[in-house]
Amino acid sequence: MADQVLEWAPFRLKPGVDEAALLEASGRLQRDFLAHQDGFMRRELINGAEGAFVDLVWWSSFAASQAAMKKAAGSPACKAYVALMDCSERDPGDDVLLFGVVKAYRPAARLLALAI
């Protein structure tokens, strides 16, 4: 399997920050930072129960994810995005996890369509 890495970054918003502000900062993060990083593949921002969010970021490799993490500290877009997060107890990076893809599965109907 390829080296693809999934970055799982859960967070909560600071009190008083609404989802519209998050989406604006998220778009800026995507446009001004992530879109320019080598190895960036895709990203999903997920809204969970009780104000929980997760950023899912796919990287082509562990090295690519680490290189972007090092650059993030100097990015105004990253700083603005993180500033919306409730970090009262800890650094948001403390909860970020990286997972390597072991095996990918696709629905059988899609495989059949791809074979035609």
Q: Within 10 Å of residue 24's Cβ, how many Cβ atoms?
A: 13
Distances (CA, A) of 99 to 38, 59, 95: 18, 10, 13
Q: Which domains does the chain have, with CATH numbers?
A: 5-115 (3.30.70.100)
Model pLDDT for residues 26-78, shown as the tens digit of each residue: 999 999 999 999 999 999 999 998 889 999 999 999 999 999 999 999 999 99
Nearest to 85 by CA among 24, 11, 32, 20: 11
Task: Note if the pTM is more than 0.85.
Answer: no
